[in-house]
Amino acid sequence: MNIGVVFPQTEFGNDPVAVRDYAQMAEGLGFSHILAYDHILGANPARPGGWQGPYTYENPFHEPLIMFSYMAAVTRTIGFVTGILILPQRETAVVAKQAATLDLLSGGRFRLGVGVGWNAVEYEALNQDFHTRGRRIEEQMEVLRLLWTRPLVTYQGRWHNIPDAGLKPLPVQQPIPIWLGGHAEAVLRRVAQMGDGWFPNYRRPAQAQPSLDLLDAFLAAAGRSRAEVGIEARLQYGAGNAAEWQALAESWRAAGATHLTVNTMGVGLTTPAGHLQAIEAFARALLPD
């Protein structure tokens, strides 16, 4: 099982040296990848109609593809994954270009995790339709894979019209793996039909089992098996001690997880040094010597 770290977007700060140190330390400790969340804009809780989302305009988010390009330049082996990029609020061909460039310059170290998101204010501000995001993401995934694997693409869909054009250079991975986040039945069906992997945002495998069973049914209907789809679970720093982390990681492995990402946010760490110490503790507990 590949074990990575969640970059603590909202708690880490903006010092580029600290960001470099985080990436290099994660790689040196033996983690397989760095995962980062995505939000372009945050809403004001005092706006007309109010706001009850988990993040506001005061929560900092580095743009993940740009941040990963910086991290890729100061590392050699560690992978990068968006977990998740809110794809329907972005222009598809631009994402294809950015992802291809990151994949090329990192030597094929990128996975694109995508989802539909939940922030209607963000969609409105980015001039995208919040209500068609589920249908749009399926067309976007198809277009991304075409752009990453063909020198020229001619495509006519509901949201995309590509008149015999293409990307250059193409990415190392053809196509770049596309994983999906979310728990709705429509998401699980999408994973089974189109996805390379799924991010189950459950704390424990027993909580995820009904969704895993449903995913297996959708995979069978699509003529695929679990062996063709990665599963990336998440483990919280506050979820006990080293022995409990080890037990939880093993239970996810037994449930079929191919990847595990450890998260140090939400436990009161207020400095980059605190997060670095936390991922070191995770490494001692979970990674081989």
pLDDT digits (tens, 9 = 90+) for 48-100: 888 888 899 999 999 999 999 999 999 999 999 999 999 999 999 999 999 99
How many domains in the chain? 1
pLDDT number for residue 182? 94
Would you say 231 and 254 are in contact if contact means Cβ atoms under 8 Å apart? Answer: no
The percent of residues above 90 in pLDDT, for the chain, comes to 94
Q: How far is CA 102 from CA 12, 57, 116, in A?
A: 23, 27, 22
Tens-digit pLDDT profile for residues 237-261: 987 899 999 999 999 999 999 999 9
CATH number of the domain residue 17 falls in: 3.20.20.30
Tens-digit pLDDT profile for residues 115-148: 999 999 999 999 999 999 999 999 999 999 999 9
The residues facing 181 across adjacent strands are 199
Residue 217 host element (H or E) = helix 205-221
pLDDT number for residue 128? 96
* pTM (2 d.p.): 0.96
pLDDT number for residue 155? 98
Instruction: Tell me which residue range forms the domain holding 267.
Output: 2-286
Tens-digit pLDDT profile for residues 190-217: 999 999 999 999 999 999 999 999 999 9
Q: How far is CA 58 from CA 120, 137, 168, 170, in A?
A: 17, 28, 37, 37
- Mean pLDDT throughout 208-229? 97
What average pLDDT is seen over the chain?
A: 96
